[in-house]
Structures are given as C-alpha cells and as structure tokens.
C-alpha cells in the first residue's frame, strides 16, 4: 500500500511540474525576446517529466 501511495504522490508531483513547465512555455512564447534555446530547454524538461510519468 505504501508503494502505491508513493507512486501516486510521485505522479501528482510530476503532473504539477509538467503543468508549471507548460504554463512557463505559454508565457515565454508570447515574448519575442526569449531565445530559442530557452524554449527548447523547457520543452526538453517537459518531455523528460512526461516520460517519467509514463514509467510509473
């Protein structure tokens, strides 16, 4: 039972992180002064979080 609670807590934490990254991407996309590298970095972070969520 503790293992499934830990997995559930981890899933929620990852989803929260994913949502934060998504919001940040939306914010930065509307600013022309943001570098492509910064956007690419955020997208990569978001992808890594999504992949980790899928392994749980």
Say if residues 25 and 42 touch (Cβ distance below 8 Å).
yes
How many angstroms from the chain centroid is the CA of residue 23? Answer: 9
What does the alpha-carbon distance between residue 19 and residue 12 come to, in Å, rounded to a whole number?
10
- Kindly report, residue by residue over 4-56, the tens digit of the pLDDT: 788 899 999 999 999 999 999 999 988 889 999 999 999 999 999 999 999 98
If one counts every other C-beta atom within 10 angstroms of the C-beta of residue 21, the result is 19
What is the value of pTM for the model shown? 0.84
Domains identified in the chain, total number:
1
For the four alpha carbons of 22, 47, 12 and 10, in that order, the dihedral sign comes to negative
pLDDT of residue 10: 93
Give the pLDDT of residue 1: 52
- What is residue 50's predicted lDDT score, i.e. its pLDDT? 97
Count of CB atoms situated within 10 Å of the CB of 53:
16
Q: How far apart are CA 38 and CA 3, in angstroms?
A: 36
* Full residue range of the structural domain in which residue 30 is found: 2-55
């Amino acid at each position: 039972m503790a293992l499934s609670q830990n997995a559930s807590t981890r899933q929620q934490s990852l989803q929260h992180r994913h949502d934060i990254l998504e919001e940040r991407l939306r914010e930065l996309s509307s600013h022309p002064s943001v570098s492509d590298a910064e956007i690419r970095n955020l997208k990569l972070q978001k992808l890594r979080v999504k992949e980790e969520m899928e392994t749980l």
